[in-house]
Structure 1
Amino acid sequence: MKEEYILTVYSENHIGLLTRITNVFTRRKTNIDSLTVSESALQGVFKFTIVVHCTDAMAKKLVSQIEKQIDVLKAFYHTNDEMIFQEIALYKVPIEPIYESDKIEQIVRRAGARILEITKDYVVIEKTGHKEDTQALFEELNEFKVMQFIRSGRVALMRDPIERLSEFLKERDAFLTSLD
């Protein structure tokens, strides 16, 4: 049965790695729903956060194939329950409806969003939350003809207090030291 998985990939920062990683998904005919790349808490290590809908077996295969890529230190897959995650969305709405009523202000307050910028032509609103939350706000604001809308990729942390990559690196270093 297909469900949503969050794959986390740790690597060094090398040119072309993103292409090689996304090719793994192409070969497996699996669509990437969300992709975010940033530095991790470990110096020199970058973290890819990739969201996919697939079976458990496919998530395992994807992680296995990604780990074969040169420059990938380690990859993991998680269910949503194992992770804390958020996305950010920005909405550009025309200014006229704000002058005519306080309905947009009420929607923004109720959604826990905030206004980032107000100009003579538009207002930019920011909402952080899960995809369902940011989509629901879009649908409410679209009554006022949203001019632009963008949602980021997912950012996620493991609920487990032990950082799996750190443990993996310690084990790897201990193994390499034992070979000397």
Structure 2
Amino acid sequence: MEKKWFTMSVYSENNVGLLNRISGIFLKRHINIESLNVSKSEIDNVSKFTIVVHTTDKWVKNIVGQIEKQIEVIKAFYHTDDETIYQESALFKIASDLLFDERQIQNIIKESNSQIVTVARDFFVLAKSGRRHEIDEMYEELKPFGIMQFVRSGRIAVSKEEMQISAMLKEFQHQ
């Protein structure tokens, strides 16, 4: 079976220990979590885990089924990259003198649609949002100049199709 990129959306109550149990489900199957983000969702008092994995259709269905067995989990979904709109963010810390002395740095900033977040005496920080490959490209362009620090967020994503989670919860609340 062919491996693909999947973005999983897990809606849950915000309880201690759930992240550990969810990561254990991947560990048991030797599937690496490529990206993980947990945030508040569009529903009051419900958290959303956004998990990115590279696996097969069979395994992602199996994992979603196992995740949904967790008591705090309300519903879990999975989507291919074509079925989602997604972004990542990154920060690059670079030596300040390069901003003024290296014309190429200015070109990279302009062409990558990144932003200068702060400038200090010894460094400046660039912020870049986009697809993973866009951040990777910017990293490779800046690498020869020396990156003092680099950090990247987990993927944030919304599905192109309507998620039925809100309707499900309204129905549940009226019972």
TM range (shorter): over 0.9
Match of 1:55 in 2: 56
Shift of 1:165: 0.8
Name structure 1 gaps, 5 residues minimum.
Answer: none
1:127 aligns with 2:128: yes
Q: TM-score, normalised by structure 2?
A: 0.95
Amino acid paired to 1:61:
N
Match of 1:104 in 2: 105
Match of 2:27 in 1: 26
Q: Distance in 2 between matches of 1:101 and 1:55?
A: 45
Q: Distance in 1 between matches of 2:86 and 2:170?
A: 26
Question: CA RMSD, aligned part only?
Answer: 1.2
SS at match of 1:147: strand
Shift of 1:170: 4.0
Q: TM-score, normalised by structure 1?
A: 0.93
The superposition leaves residues 74-100 of structure 1 with CA deviations (integer Å, 9 ceiling, x where unpaired) of 001100111110000000011122232
The superposition leaves residues 142-166 of structure 1 with CA deviations (integer Å, 9 ceiling, x where unpaired) of 1210111111000001111x23211
Amino acid paired to 2:116:
I
Match of 2:76 in 1: 75
Shift of 1:50: 0.1
Q: Distance in 2 between matches of 1:55 and 1:101?
A: 45
Shift of 1:171: 4.8
Q: Distance in 2 between matches of 1:76 and 1:163?
A: 9
SS at match of 2:43: coil
SS at match of 2:147: coil
Q: Distance in 2 between matches of 1:171 and 1:24?
A: 29
Match of 1:168 in 2: 168
The count of corresponding residues between Structure 1 and Structure 2 is 174
The superposition leaves residues 119-151 of structure 1 with CA deviations (integer Å, 9 ceiling, x where unpaired) of 111110000001100010011011210111111
SS at match of 1:103: helix
The superposition leaves residues 47-82 of structure 1 with CA deviations (integer Å, 9 ceiling, x where unpaired) of 000000000000000000000011000001100111
SS at match of 1:153: coil
Q: Distance in 2 between matches of 1:66 and 1:38?
A: 17
Shift of 1:102: 2.2
Shift of 1:172: 4.2
Shift of 1:103: 1.7
Moved more, 99-108 or 31-40: 99-108
Aligned-pair identity (%): 44
Amino acid paired to 2:139:
F
